[in-house]
Amino acid sequence: MSVTDLNPLLQRLEAYRHQGRTALLPALHDAQELFGYIPQNAAEEIGRALNIPLADVYGVIEFYSLFYSQPIGKTIIHICNDPACAMAGSETLFKQIRFSLQEVKTTGDTPTLAIEMAPCLGLCEHAPAVLIQGKAYGHANQQTWQDLVSGKGERPSSVLGGTVSILTANCGLGHTVHLSEYLNFGGYQALRKALHSTPRQIIEEIKASGLVGRGGAAFPTGLKWEAAANAAGEIKYVVCNADEAEPGTFKDRVLMEDDPHSILEGILIAGYAIGAQKGYIYIRGEYLIPYQAMKQAVEDAREAGFLGNNILDTDFDFEIEIRRGAGAYICGEETALFESIEGKRGFPRLKPPFPTTHGLFGKPTVINNVETLANVPVIIRKGAAHYRKLGTEQSPGSKLFCLSGDVVRPGLYEVPFGIPFHHLLYDLAGGMRPGHRFQAALFGGAAGAFATEQHLDVRLTFEDLKAAGLPLGSGVITVFDETRDLRDICLRLARFFAEESCGKCYPCQMGTQRQFEIMQRIASGNIQKHDWDILQDVGWTMTDSSLCGLGQTAASAILSAMKHFPHLFKSD
């Protein structure tokens, strides 16, 4: 039996000991990093140090796909398998690399590589994307695998477009905006202004701005803040949901990588408004560069007095802690995210009670998406009235759209709410690739719905899209030309949900698996007479009866494909 030297881990565990269970994911990340997997004796030490039942420690390891309870390989390569990357050839890439690795193995060279297909890595504008030991590389098909593995591959930089740059004002400079630069751009002035107002005034301003959540649910931000501010209790939290994992979404990654301080400023203002003392930023495990950028920003902000006690010489004290996810889409669901920070499997909780009264550690909590929080300094600096000059009455401000797939210029587009879809697609993103025409677009990611030619004129607002039966979601638009088999796209979405279902409630636990199995058959051309009815029953059962938003939307795209392209699902 191999003996693992646990000393490096034991040293790190000392720092976590007083925190208890909430330090479980950080401790497991450390073990995974130190040993390449989590050996049983390491898990025992972690359980002992943090006072967690060992069965629970194992349950947590098993829940998150970036934790391995068995040795897997010194270098782990993840290749994205979701629509945008698949259309750019990620499956061929996977086969090529696997083939090359087998060659290497037989010659006994570096036998310590492991390769896995992964869910969307949030690099859709650089498709096909890969992660190598957690580091992101784009356009992986244009590089040799040796370059990729040795770290010489192309590191993706932001691709920006659009007609306004408000949220993305400091993005696309080719580097992460440092604190000094951010201050030169007028950074932290909104915080200064906020601290000279009352919390109530801040909440009123956010309410007046009409800002709604950008993570997908579009809940009014001001109302959420107000509810948390009014909730009983001294201890409150602000959580920044940076677990961006909806296939096709990459906006939060760009914001965090390029302009992290704008997000910190938003969190600080939220904290002041609701009377919180602490904030958490929960970043998906696959986002190593954004994690490093945010971590540096937090350290710099603390050094400069924007975090800590008596911020800007006021009575306001605030701290921010960054947490990394570990490969679980479900943790983007707000209550599952809380469970994850608390050191548990990412099971969503029953609602009510809602986070504003019973959130993280059972305390009143505001949880907002990265882009939502990035809007906050903009609103506070110039006022709600100015903010509302852009966009429509019901959808004020600007919105980030993540365009990928068969468009000439995939990238992150910032536009005012209200422009028509065709303007974004044809005028801003360069339209379809030469010689091809538009077939469909997936709005809102895997949990979204398909748009067809008849939707090209739809205005991009919450109200117009809702009327058209399309979700705005988190701003994902994945475009497909006439050569794409939408059944294959649906199969990928079905596989995504089957892999990402947490397994808590029956409709989603079994429904995502059955949906995947049926789509496998349909995509291979073997359509049976009852498939239509079965897919409808499974889909509507998940939609109607699942416990959380994941299950409730796990059939959404497929049901919309069945509506718009029924012939694809019928045998005759």
For the CB of residue 62, give the shortest distance to another protein in the complex, in Å.
5
Instruction: Determine if 58 is a binding residue for another protein (CB under 8 A).
Output: yes
Are 343 and 24 in contact by the 8 Å Cβ rule? The answer is yes
Instruction: Determine if 504 is a binding residue for another protein (CB under 8 A).
Output: yes
Instruction: Determine if 186 is a binding residue for another protein (CB under 8 A).
Output: no
Going from the C-alpha of 122 to that of each of 400, 476, 497, the distances in angstroms are: 14, 11, 16
**Of 388, 379, 427, which is closest to residue 162 (Cα–Cα)?**
427
Q: Which 3 state secondary structure label does DSSP give 413? A: strand
Closest CB to another protein among residues 540, 565: 540
For the CB of residue 451, give the shortest distance to another protein in the complex, in Å.
22
Closest CB to another protein among residues 324, 495: 495
For the CB of residue 63, give the shortest distance to another protein in the complex, in Å.
5
Q: What angle do CA 204, 332, 484 make, to 5 degrees?
A: 115
> Measured on CA atoms in the order 539, 347, 355, 321, is the torsion positive or negative?
negative
> What is the C-alpha separation between 418 and 540, in angstroms, rounded?
31
One residue of 31, 547, 557, 559 binding another protein per CB under 8 A: 547
For the CB of residue 496, give the shortest distance to another protein in the complex, in Å.
11
One residue of 33, 53, 305, 457 binding another protein per CB under 8 A: 53
Alpha helices in 133-250 (DSSP H): 145-149, 179-184, 189-195, 199-209, 221-230
Closest CB to another protein among residues 426, 506: 506
For the CB of residue 469, give the shortest distance to another protein in the complex, in Å.
15
Find the farthest-apart pair of alpha carbons in the chain and give their distance in angstroms, rounded.
73
For the CB of residue 116, give the shortest distance to another protein in the complex, in Å.
15
**Of 298, 193, 177, 169, which is closest to residue 242 (Cα–Cα)?**
298
Closest CB to another protein among residues 311, 505: 505
Pairing of strands 75-80, 130-132: antiparallel
Closest CB to another protein among residues 69, 112: 69
Instruction: Determine if 532 is a binding residue for another protein (CB under 8 A).
Output: no
Going from the C-alpha of 215 to that of each of 203, 244, 286, 420, 458, the distances in angstroms are: 20, 8, 18, 21, 21
Instruction: Determine if 253 is a binding residue for another protein (CB under 8 A).
Output: no
Binding segment for another protein among 24-32, 127-135, 414-422, 538-546 (CB under 8 A)? 538-546
For the CB of residue 541, give the shortest distance to another protein in the complex, in Å.
4
For residue 6, the Cα-to-chain-centroid distance in whole angstroms is 33
How many residues in the shown chain lie near another protein by CB under 8 A?
44
One residue of 543, 564, 565, 568 binding another protein per CB under 8 A: 543
Closest CB to another protein among residues 124, 502: 502
Instruction: Determine if 10 is a binding residue for another protein (CB under 8 A).
Output: no
The label of the residue with tokens 């943790």 reads 331
Instruction: Determine if 541 is a binding residue for another protein (CB under 8 A).
Output: yes
One residue of 69, 146, 180, 314 binding another protein per CB under 8 A: 69
One residue of 40, 96, 100, 163 binding another protein per CB under 8 A: 40
Sort residue 431 into left (φ over 0), alpha (ψ -120 to 50) or beta.
left
For the CB of residue 355, give the shortest distance to another protein in the complex, in Å.
17
The label of the residue with tokens 């399309």 reads 470
Binding segment for another protein among 10-18, 210-218, 424-432, 534-542 (CB under 8 A)? 534-542
Instruction: Determine if 92 is a binding residue for another protein (CB under 8 A).
Output: no
Instruction: Determine if 28 is a binding residue for another protein (CB under 8 A).
Output: no
> Measured on CA atoms in the order 358, 361, 364, 370, is the torsion positive or negative?
negative
Instruction: Determine if 96 is a binding residue for another protein (CB under 8 A).
Output: no
One residue of 370, 428, 479, 505 binding another protein per CB under 8 A: 505
Q: What angle do CA 237, 239, 241 make, to 5 degrees?
A: 170
Query: Bridge partners of 135?
Result: 132
- DSSP secondary structure string for all residues of 517-558: HHHHHHHTT---TTHHHHHHHHHHHHHHH-SSHHHHHTTHHH
Closest CB to another protein among residues 81, 478: 81
| Residues in 298-357 at the binding interface with another protein, rule: CB under 8 A | 328, 345, 350
Q: Which 3 state secondary structure label does DSSP give 432? A: strand
Q: Read off φ and ψ for residue 411, nearest 5 degrees.
A: 170, -170
Site string for another protein, 457-496 (x = CB under 8 A): ----------------------------------------
For residue 3, the Cα-to-chain-centroid distance in whole angstroms is 37
Kindly list the residues in this chain that would bind another protein in the complex (CB under 8 A). Answer: 40, 43, 53-59, 62-63, 69, 328, 345, 350, 498-507, 509-514, 517, 521, 534, 537-538, 540-541, 543-547, 552
